[in-house]
Amino acid sequence: MILPQIQNNKLAFNIVLTYVFVLSLPYLGYTQNVTMTYEESRIITGGYELPEYKSESSDSLLNSFLEEAYHQSDALKAAYQSWVAVRSQTDQVGSLPDPEVMFRYFINPMKYDGPFAQGSIGVMQMFPWFGTLDENRNYVNLLSHAKWQEVDSARLEVFEGVKTSWYRLVLVHRRKEYLKEHLEWVNRLMQLTRSRVESGYASRSDMLQLEMEKIEIETMLEALNISFSSEQMRFNSLLNRNATQEVTLPTGRPEITWELTYEETLNLAITHNPSILNLEILDQAGESMEKRAKLEGYPMIGVGAEIMGRNSSMQMDGNRIPIYANVTIRLPIWRKKYKAILSQAQAERKVIEYEISDKIRSFQAEISSLMSVYKEADVRVKRYRDALLPKSRELTDLLLLDYSNARIRLDEVIQMRRRSVEYATMLEEAIFDRNMATVSLQRFTAGVEF
């Protein structure tokens, strides 16, 4: 009785074991395929990560463009010629008045001894009051110095335009590179998904999602190419060269930072900004104009001599040639004109004082705003670079592995991958905003940073 019972138990155990093995066959096949997908996913995430753009000093490259703009900019050349025109006035106002030459001829002399005996010739030179010519030269020199500040302002404006266009070109180029890399990632995933569709482990909808993603990327790339070409033409126009000439860009990521505080920046702007210096010099010119108005109110002195012929007048006896010396004083008795000049100079100085105060207040507001923009952009740079971008890349890799194990849908992987690319783009835009704030602050301080 015991032996048949043992045999029956063995038979039942074999039947159960066989049943379990048969049921486990599909699972074993799926596991084998999952292992292959896992290896393939490592190829995608390991070989096609978002490009790492390290900060790079591109000062030499950018400085070469700034030097080219400095020598080729028509706006800068026009400002320089305007300064030359003012500077040339120094010789005009610092010279004595033209001398006066007088010639007389006695038509009816008592006796005729030839044409030269009855004529006379004289010369007169007027001299302004002492110090007038020096003050005139000082006034024009001050005006030329003020005009030179306008040249410097034009230079800073040209440089700011070149830097702005340059960093915008870099931004568009970076966005294009990120999208190109994303397109490679999509193409790679399409190849693997296509094989999975053929083997029955993915659906046609996955391929359609990837195809739609590819079309969107290609559309954005075309738009960025158009934007890049337009900005490149603008950049070339600033350098006064062929609009279609290719612009050399750095291989790394150019970043510029601002280390000065608000107070330090404002002090540099007040002491070095050409627009402030221009007004301060014009204020000195106004003071010089007041002195000129007072000096013009003093008499002018003329010194001259006249040589007369022997028969040039009725009083001459014809025996000797008379020579006369004379002194002339021009009296400015009509004082209204000089008072008006003095009042004009005083009023212009008041205007300049108000303009300086207004300019400083404007600088305070603009620099404060730029410092806020800089700090806000700097916060975004640190958040995207140190936290959001690395985490988004890690999460994309993990989601891709989950997809390979059929735990999530493909659209979740694509959405996270796209979000990672957006974070990379936002990082570049934050760096661009920070660079632009720095460029504007450099313009305020005339490029002085210490």
Query: What pLDDT digit, counting tens, does each position of 56-108 carry?
Result: 555 688 999 999 999 999 999 999 999 999 998 888 888 888 898 988 777 76
Does any domain span residue 15?
yes
**Domain co-membership, 27 together with 102:** no
CATH code of the domain covering residue 60:
1.20.1600.10
Integer Cα distance of 91 and 133 in angstroms: 10
Do the domain assignments include residue 450?
Answer: no
Same domain, residue pair 24 and 65:
no
Same domain, 275 and 384: yes
Judgement on whether residues 2 and 114 belong to the same structural domain of the protein: no
Q: Do 195 and 322 have their domain in common?
A: yes
Same domain, 200 and 338: yes
Range of the domain at 34: 1-42
CA dist., res. 372 & res. 350, Å (int): 34
449 within some domain: no
pTM of the model: 0.79
313 and 299 within one domain: yes
Q: Can you give the pLDDT at residue 29?
A: 33
Same structural domain, 52 and 28? no
Q: What's the angle, vertex CA 283, arms to CA 280 and CA 288, rounded to 5?
A: 130
Q: 94 and 33 in one domain?
A: no
Maximum Cα interatomic distance, the chain, rounded to a whole number of Å? 188
Q: How many CB atoms lie within 10 A of CB 325?
A: 9
- pLDDT of 442 reads 94
Closest by alpha carbon to 355, among 287, 275, 262? 275
Residue 355 domain-assigned? yes
Per-residue pLDDT of the chain (450 residues; tens, 9 = 90+): 444 444 444 444 443 333 333 333 333 333 333 333 444 444 444 333 445 555 555 568 899 999 999 999 999 999 999 999 999 888 888 888 889 898 877 776 666 666 666 778 889 999 999 999 999 999 999 999 999 999 999 999 999 999 999 999 999 999 999 999 999 999 999 998 898 888 888 889 999 999 999 999 999 999 999 999 999 999 999 999 999 999 999 887 889 999 999 999 999 999 999 999 999 999 999 999 999 888 888 899 999 988 877 665 555 555 667 788 889 898 888 878 888 888 988 999 999 999 999 999 999 999 999 999 999 999 999 999 999 999 999 999 999 888 888 888 999 999 999 999 999 999 999 999 999 999 999 999 998 764
**Considering its fold, how many domains does the chain have in total?**
2
DSSP for 412-447, written as a single string? HHHHHHHHHHHHHHHHHHHHHHHHHHHHHHHHHTTT
> What is the pLDDT, as a whole number, of residue 30?
33
Same structural domain, 244 and 182: yes
